[in-house]
């Protein structure tokens, strides 16, 4: 049972109630939902592609030292084992950096801010 005061407040607030008078409002919201949905799908696909490319690149990078026919000679006054070591270090650092970037990207939500 509502008191007289409650009814007065209800009446006052009903009088002050406003309508959202934007005829495009529904269309605008629906359009944003659609855009975000498709962007989400695209971002998710891009993430998958980046993991596949990363795996292929890593595989290629790791197998590179075995694919090149190294001769036991000096190259630019450097010993071949030293060059191999340098290539391996650069490759490992590169893989770790790219792995970190892709991982942080994958953990983000598939969302765009419009």
Question: Interface with another protein by CB under 8 A: which residues?
Answer: 5-6, 9-10, 12-20, 22, 25-26, 28-30, 32-34, 36-37, 111
User: Rounded to the nearest whole angstrom, what is the least distance from the CB of residue 51 to another protein in the complex?
Assistant: 24
Minimum separation from the CB atom of position 36 to another protein (A): 7
Minimum CB separation from another protein for residue 76, in Å?
A: 57
**H-helix or E-strand containing 73?**
none
């Amino acid at each position: 049972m509502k008191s007289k005061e409650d009814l007065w407040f209800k009446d006052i607030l009903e009088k002050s109630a406003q309508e959202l008078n934007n005829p495009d409002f529904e269309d605008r919201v629906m359009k944003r939902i659609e855009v975000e949905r498709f962007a989400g799908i695209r971002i998710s696909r891009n993430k998958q592609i980046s993991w596949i490319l990363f795996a292929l690149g890593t595989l290629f990078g790791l197998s590179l030292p075995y694919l090149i026919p190294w001769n036991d000679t000096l190259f630019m006054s450097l010993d071949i084992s030293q060059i191999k070591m340098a290539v391996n270090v650069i490759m490992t650092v590169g893989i770790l950096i790219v792995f970190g970037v892709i991982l942080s990207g994958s953990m983000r939500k598939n969302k765009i801010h419009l």
